[in-house]
Amino acid sequence: MLLSPLLSPPLSQPVDDFRLAYDRQGDAAGPPVLLLHGWPGDRTDHAAVAERLAGAGHDVVVPDLRGFGQSDKHDRDPAAYYGAPAQARGVAGLLDELGVSQAVVGGYDIGSRVGQQLALDRPDLVRALVVAPPAPGVGRRVLDERPMREFWYQPFHQLELARELIDGDVGRARAYLKHFWSHWSGPDHTVDDQRLDHLAAVYGAPGAFVASIGWYRAAVGMVARALAETEPDPADRIAVPTTFLWPEHDPLFPRAWADRLDAFYADVTVVPVDGVGHFVPVEAPDVFADTIAAAAARPR
């Protein structure tokens, strides 16, 4: 069930003056799980995953990242306040406030990047990662014809035109988001009107769309990141056990791009998820929840 944007969730204590809206459900004494959403979504992306895990006795925390959903949206320097390190700081502050550590962190899209940053910056908070792409190791393949067609939206988000065309207009926000939810989903998934109406309401409020693309304005886009990427020293790889749920029909991240993960993760497994597209927790919540539960049950 989708959460109503009119409901008032609890808010975290501020980090960098940003409070995070979040839901917590399940057994507070159970294995902890943190679920992180992507763009263009919010914490309701994980509603079905959270329901399954909470019902199985996990302690499930699901925040809106800063700039998204019902979390704070301040007009601040994106590089300082909306990039991966800043987002990870906010999430770490929430977990510290709740007394949660050694959580299995699940995420996709932006949530995947933030989870990976959290594992680097605060490994005490992360027991394992269960994530869908993006992942490092793409290199010059990002310049191939297909990815160059797909990543147009990232340079568009750098333009003031993005604010002028979309911000503060629910109808335009709905049309823009519908494109991505339709184009990035697998062939058997159709985004329903209820989800689009919910996302249009939260993204269409004044200042909300610009806050959501603060992530893209905080750093270079996928193309420049992939071209500039270098392999870390083996000792500096992400150390926590990491599982990538790699969908079959994600137009952004083909499965061939999973071939260099060992250079960036000390303990990594790739699990193909057939039949689904970019939105793995929405399109395949059973797979997502079962993989997180297995990671939580794995001996330390």
pLDDT digits (tens, 9 = 90+) for 72-86: 999 999 999 999 999
Confidence (pLDDT) at 133? 97
Q: How far apart are CA 235 and CA 288, in angstroms?
A: 29
Segment 251-291, tens digit of pLDDT = 999 999 999 999 999 999 999 999 999 999 999 999 999 99
Place of tokens 């270098």: 230
What is the band of 5 on the pLDDT scale with cuts at 50, 70, 90? very low
Kindly report which listed range (3-12, 61-70, 120-129, 156-165) carries the lowest average pLDDT score: 3-12
Confidence (pLDDT) at 229? 84
Q: What integer is the mean pLDDT of 133-137?
A: 94
What is the band of 7 on the pLDDT scale with cuts at 50, 70, 90? low
Q: What integer is the mean pLDDT of 41-45?
A: 98
Residues in Cβ contact with 154 at an 8 Å cutoff, skipping those fewer than 6 apart = 216, 221, 222, 223
Confidence (pLDDT) at 226? 77
Contact between 22 and 94 under an 8 Å Cβ cutoff? The reply is yes
Q: How far apart are CA 82 and CA 66, in angstroms?
A: 7
Confidence (pLDDT) at 1? 36
Confidence (pLDDT) at 230? 87
Q: How far apart are CA 279 and CA 175, in angstroms?
A: 18
3-state SS string over the chain?
A: CCCCCCCCCCECCCECCECCEEEEEECCCCCEEEEECCCCCCHHHHHHHHHHHHHCCCEEEEECCCCCCCCCCCCCCHHHHCCHHHHHHHHHHHHHHHCCCCEEEEECCHHHHHHHHHHHHCHHHEEEEEECCCCCCCHHHHHCHHHHHHCCHHHHHCCHHHHHHHCCCHHHHHHHHHHHHHHCCCCCCCCCHHHHHHHHHHHCCCCHHHHHCHHHHCCCCHHHHHHHCCCCCHHHCECCCEEEEEECCCCCCCHHHHCCHHHCECCEEEEEECCCCCCHHHHCHHHHHHHHHHHHHCCC
Q: Give the class (CATH, top level) of 22-297.
A: alpha beta
Confidence (pLDDT) at 220? 65
- Spell out the domain ranges in the chain: 22-297
Confidence (pLDDT) at 58? 98
